[in-house]
Amino acid sequence: MKDLFASLYEWFGLIPLYSTDMGDMLRGFDVTCTDYINTPWYLYIGWIMVGVTAFVYGLQYHIIDSARWNKKQHWWLFALVIVLINFIAAFSISFNEMRAGDYCKDLHPTTADCLGFGLSNAIWSLLLFVLITSIPFIRKASTNCRHTTFWKP
């Protein structure tokens, strides 16, 4: 699972939004520069992203589930909340880890790398929200928002 999140965030090697040094730090390259035995931040941040996205989806579609909150602008408002929370989570965790210096000293992550990783996390959370809200059988339990999707809000 750790490699799945690493591949996602690194866009399967196609779109580098941050350096490989940042990727190695997030994989958990330890201070002795010998192995990936440090904190696996890709895994933790990936599960945070999934959890936040699922929670906000549940909030909109199953908890609030109001006729007043099933319009196009409301879908985008909840999507913006998801994107912001996930960007802030990924940026702050990676930035704090970078500042703490608890990684191999041969790596040189920067603040721009933290911003790029935050952007990657934000984009993937938006894509996950689009996916979740596009699957009809998941939305059927919602009374008022069952027809609210990215494709037809």
Which residue has tokens 């989806």?
57
Q: Kindly list the domain boundaries of the chain, sorted by start residue.
A: 2-139
Its pTM stands at 0.93
Instruction: Specify the DSSP element, H or E, that contains 115.
Output: helix 111-134
Dihedral sign (CA 91, 93, 94, 95): positive
Question: How many other β-carbons are positioned within 10 Å of the β-carbon of residue 129?
Answer: 24
pLDDT tens, the chain, 153 aa long: 778 999 999 998 888 899 999 999 999 999 999 999 999 999 999 999 999 999 999 999 999 998 888 888 999 999 999 999 999 999 999 999 999 998 999 999 999 999 999 999 999 999 999 999 998 888 888 899 888 888 875
DSSP-derived secondary structure for 59-104: IIIIII--GGG-SHHHHHHHHHHHHHHHHHHHHHHHHHHHHHT-S-
Question: How many other β-carbons are positioned within 10 Å of the β-carbon of residue 35?
Answer: 10
